[in-house]
Amino acid sequence: MMIENIKMPQLGESVTEGTISTWLVKVGDHVNKYDPLAEVMTDKVNAEVPSSFSGVIKELIAGEGETLAVGEIICTIEVEGASGEVAATTIEEKPVEKAAPVAQAQTPVAAAPVQTIAKTDESGKVRFSPAVLRLAQENNLDLSLIPGTGNNDRVTRKDVLNAIANGVPQAAPAPVAVETPAQPVVAQTAPAAQVAKAPAGAPAPVIPTAVGDIEIPVTGVRKAIASNMLRSKHEAPHAWMMIEVDVTNLVNYRNSLKDSFKKKEGFSLTFFAFFVKAVAQALKEYPMINSMWAGDKIIQKKDINLSIAVATDDALFVPVIKNADEKTIKGIAREITELATKVRTGKLKSDEMQGGTFTVNNTGSFGSVQSAGIINFPQAAILQIESIVKRPAVVNGMIGVRDMVNLCLSLDHRVLDGFICGKFLGRVKEILENTTKENTNVY
């Protein structure tokens, strides 16, 4: 028999890690090739990981709720019909000898066993994944001091990242040999005991709770969203600007069509479809907005693929309208309806969330009038479409009640500057304010 590795797949264009939400198999189960092994969540999609082999599940290396980088091993399979036993995990994972035990102190503090830190193999060696080893070496961390939260207390990449961010608990100092009889040192012993009991690598401070408080476990999807948003805010210097648009003509035109359109097409003609079309047209005229930062270069994307934010009760997804500049308002409205339905029924596919080059967020759908979105990394900008509200405005020297909307743009200042973004927003404004029956065709 041969032991084969199943690794965390890349489930999206910019996805770098995934979280095991549910194992669909257990050790000893027989699986066929392409059978689903686990459900994995990322910031972009939920998906099943299929088996690449037929055989018997040998080991579940990652636990439920554990986040692993793309390419890390999640489980091993004993493959049928292969000659010669090959310990594949010893190729992918470097064995690390246990740390030498600290000299026994007179207090029980230093007695915390290393065996609970990470899973051991038959030779008594503690095993760590290559990603964990690399991170620890780069940051000069002693893995024997980091308690693991993975399967069988395995130290995971997330544990190491938490240790980097929050510090590693120090081991109790070995007693110094002296000629006089050792005296109990309370001042040294008490802090060591506290270190041994503290949850090392905790990602957040301990917050006291009161009677009636509700603790809500963080789901894999929420963790993935948090990770992606944190990366965007840390890496991309956000700037923000807003423009006010008079969409009275658009509102009148859409309202004159909505009933007959719904009856004829079977789905709604929303305001959002007009906004998405205007953004796609403006991106074609100002392609620099449709760019991404790539370290030593900026990549200007040829295709205009618009990510649209769709929220559920506890998560946010960004399906993509591909080549939006080539579609009619009717075609965009249809895709918005179909993608939103797939998100809310859990039927959205991984490839329907890939390739986005610019994000349009319909924050106005829940009453917002002004907001600053976080850029959908690695894109360079996100546009928030706010609520359409009736406000007094001056038109041709006269005050009248108009339908007004705010468009709020967050931009990556490494890629874009205020001048080009101002020109882009001005063009979107021009298109929307001139959306009338005479010069706009929804078909």
Using CA atoms, how far apart are residues 121 and 96, in angstroms rounded to an integer?
Answer: 11
Instruction: Centre a 10 Å sphere on the Cβ of residue 390 and count the other Cβ atoms it contains.
Output: 11
Radius of gyration over alpha carbons of the chain, in Å? 28
Residue 333's identity, in one-letter code, is A
Give how far Cα 346 sits from Cα of 23, 221, 225, 311, Å. Answer: 18, 13, 17, 12
- DSSP letters for 101-116: PPPPPSSGGGG--GGG
What would the DSSP string read from start to end of 343-358?
HHTT---GGGGS---E
Of the candidates 89, 77, 228, 65, the residue with the CA atom closest to the CA atom of residue 158: 65
User: How many angstroms separate the Cα of 427 from the Cα of each of 120, 381, 423, 433?
Assistant: 62, 16, 6, 10
238 is catalytic: no
Q: Positive or negative CA dihedral for 149, 151, 153, 155?
A: negative
Active site residue 413: yes
Query: Strand order of the sheet with strand 30-31?
Result: 2-7, 73-79, 55-60, 30-31
- Residue numbers annotated as active site: 413, 417
